């Protein structure tokens, strides 16, 4: 878990494979847009920084985090040449159990996509207690989980590529 003074988005850039030949999809929840746009920017810029051409990154929006599973599934079906997909969302605790159901549903759904498909789907869904925690993890004092998701996507795309030989 990110803690104050510990930026989890800091990493050794030289240890990341060159991603210039990879293609990625990003599915972004429109709910909590200020947070999800920050996560998207972190992921998008990190992919480009590691060689991915802008034209090799496709973005789709879905209404909320619960819909990420369907959006990622359709992206897998539509773009079979993608090397990885990043699912970006933000669920903030409220006064009801809705938070629990959405978090459980999206995490199980993305797990199933990874089990049933050859295209890895990276879980970049913040599940925070309040908006400030989400902002702190989407470009604030704790870094950007979108950056971390992009690094995971590159590493998984490389693993996918190497496993084909």
Cite the active site residues.
Answer: 98
Q: Is 22 annotated as a binding residue?
A: no
**Do 24 and 124 touch, CB atoms closer than 8 A?**
no
Residue 60, marked binder: no
Half-sphere exposure of residue 130: CA atoms within 13 angstroms, side-chain side: 1
Structure-token pair, residue 101: 């159901």
Enumerate residues 6+ apart whose C-beta is below 8 A from 134: 32, 35, 90, 92, 126, 128
Instruction: Give CA angle at 100 (95, 105), nearest 5°.
Output: 145
15 is in an annotated binding site: no
46 among annotated binding-site residues: no
**Residue 96 annotated as binding?**
yes
Is residue 90 marked as binding?
yes
Binding site per annotation, positions for (2S)-2-hydroxy-3-oxobutyl phosphate = 95-96, 137
Binding site per annotation, positions = 31, 65-67, 90-92, 95-96, 123, 137
Binding site per annotation, positions for 5-amino-6-(D-ribitylamino)uracil = 31, 65-67, 90-92, 123
């Amino acid at each position: 878990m990110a803690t104050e003074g510990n930026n989890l988005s800091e990493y050794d850039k030289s240890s990341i494979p060159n991603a210039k030949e990879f293609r990625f999809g990003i599915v972004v929840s429109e709910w909590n847009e200020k947070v999800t746009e920050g996560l998207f920017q972190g992921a998008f810029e990190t992919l480009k920084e590691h060689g991915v051409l802008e034209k090799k990154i496709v973005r789709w929006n879905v209404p909320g985090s619960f819909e990420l599973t369907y959006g990622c599934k359709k992206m897998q079906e539509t773009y079979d040449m993608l090397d990885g997909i990043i699912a970006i969302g933000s669920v903030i605790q409220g006064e009801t159990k809705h938070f629990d159901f959405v978090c459980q549903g999206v995490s199980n759904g993305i797990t199933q996509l990874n089990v049933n498909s050859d295209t890895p789907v990276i879980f970049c869904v913040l599940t925070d207690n309040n908006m400030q925690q989400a902002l702190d993890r989407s470009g604030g004092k704790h870094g950007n989980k979108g950056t971390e998701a992009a690094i995971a996507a590159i590493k998984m795309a490389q693993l996918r590529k190497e496993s084909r030989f």
